[in-house]
A and B are shown apart, each in its own frame.
Chain A
Amino acid sequence: MNDQGLSSYFQFSNVDWGNMLTSTWETLWLTIVSMIVVAILGIALGLLLFETTDSHNPLVRLLNWVVALFVNVFRSIPFIILIVLLLPITQKLVGTIIGPRAALPSLIISAAPFYARMVELAFHELDHGVVEAAESMGATRWQIIRKVLLPESMPALVSGITVTTISLIGYTAMAGAIGAGGLGNLAYQDGFQSNNNAITLVATVIIVIIVFIFQFLGDLAVKHIDKRA
């Protein structure tokens, strides 16, 4: 039986490093795949929100209202509830409710609306004069999106996806607790349920390192892209 005192944190002999590595890869895989999908979906939704704001066309206004409602609703649902709520949908989409792949739908549906709001805000913060200049040159709406909105707001988009990814890492751990695999799963099952605090500690340290790496890469990218100052 394991000792349950504070020294239990340091009983590293109980750590199965092979398992730890597998779980780390699962967490990274979950994070990166959901980040990519969230980035694409979030930018698309953010653009849709931005482009449909203040339209005179009643149909467009309706679309804006529907998208905004979708975004607000899914942003408000606590993640742990969202996973449970989406279980039947996950079963339908992925074919299982266990393992890393099963965590993807709820991770994406929870984070994409969050990022979409950041994207919309980034577009609103752009200097309208630049958009007007592009219009005066005869740019199409699509050219303005591709050549003005996206590149000019890139630092905000990248720092937004960094923040979103870091909360995604937290969500992967939560998803792990109900069987999605990854470090959260390991910390819960092999750490908490088997009274093995060393495993929990190591999993925590690895997650912190992953967060730091994503933050560092995000900051580095923003610094490289931002030519404003």
Chain B
Amino acid sequence: MIEFKDVTKTFATKQGAVHAVQDVNLSIEDGHIYGIVGYSGAGKSTLVRMLNGLETPTSGSVDIDGVEITVLTGTKLREQRHKIGMIFQHFNLLWSRTVLQNIMFPLEIAGQSKAAAQKKAEHLADLVGLAGREQAYPSELSGGQKQRVGIARALANDPQILLSDEATSALDPQTTDEVLDLLLDINKKLNLTIVLITHEMHVIRKIADHVAVMEDGKIVEQGPVLEVFKRPKQAVTKRFVNEEVTPSLHDTTAVVEQLVAKYPKGTIVQLTFHGDQAKLPIVSEMLKQYGNLDLNIIEGNIHQTQEGAIGSLYIQITGDPADIDGALAYLQKLRVETEVLNRE
């Protein structure tokens, strides 16, 4: 269990005091994948670096399982760091060491024997899918492979917590998904708490179960990912969620306007699906019940998140007004969020 209590970090600069982190209160349960999302400069990096003491708060406290990190120094702090793995945007591997030697690095630091470290490193290389590449140097690896080395290295001392600092931001979309799948897999296998910071909502959607949105050093919104995706409250959250759920909202509006002009008789409805609803054949059930209606799908997208699916669908319904009313009532009965965008 990680707890941030009234955490504030202020940097003194020539331009005056900069509040990198302000009044942050956050609890992260064991075994969760907690995403912290925000644009660059929002204070995410500073916040997670307080977990391993790379940054210290100006005021407030950071606890991990009841141990206050903020007051640890010297040997105590270093021992605590052994229990927290960290992966980085630019991997930060030692180029002078092979894959295996890189994974052994934190074990050497923790004072393990060479034989034990080597055995552990071989097992970890296997776990992250680098079997056969142990003797390669980082310069011979692709970005995705480098991050796998980073992950294996972060896991070497059997940490309870893994911090991920924009770990996929330097990777292409396909490699990003592979690395995220690996993180999810590790989270399940090792019951590891993962705190990840990112500016990509895609990353949150794909593996996080909880999310906190940061802006100007403050957490402006937090909760289970699906909750936040469903009902974003803050403007910044809406921007992140919209980027993800309706990447082409603007286009869709144009399409709706065109369709309204083209089919003035139609009723245009936006359906929003949450969780299990997205798995059900709701639209076809509706058509079976109101067989005289015509349906035209304008646009739609459904995303899978860790807590279920979420998505929206734009449809145009034409037919008898009574049937249309019935269909809309049916959809509402199934708790599908319906919004009539245009009705003749």
Contacts and interface: CB of A to CB of B under 8 A. Distances in A.
Instruction: Decide if the interface of chain A is mainly helix, strand, loop or mixed.
Output: helix
B96 A136 contact: no
Interface string B97-128: 10000000110111000000000000000000
Given A147-B108, A147-B109, A138 B82 contact: yes
B98 to A, nearest CB: 8
A130 interface: yes
A138 B78 contact: yes
B214 to A, nearest CB: 21
B317 to A, nearest CB: 55
A137 B102 CA distance: 12
Given A133-B86, A137-B106, A147-B109, A154 B96 contact: yes
Contact of B110 (A138, A147, A152, A228): A138
Interface residues of A, number: 22
B105 A137 contact: yes
Contacts of A92: none
B92 interface: yes
Instruction: Decide if the interface of chain B is mainly helix, strand, loop or mixed.
Output: mixed
A143 B94 contact: no
B139 A229 contact: yes
Interface in B258-307: none
Interface in B81-97: 81-82, 84, 86, 88, 90, 92-97
B187 interface: no
A185 B96 CA distance: 43
Contact of A136 (B86, B97, B137): B86
Contact of B52 (A136, A148, A227): A136
12 contacts: A129-B92, A130-B94, A133-B92, A136-B81, A138-B77, A138-B106, A139-B109, A143-B109, A147-B105, A147-B109, A227-B137, A228-B139
Interface of A: 127, 129-130, 132-140, 143, 147-148, 151-152, 154, 225, 227-229
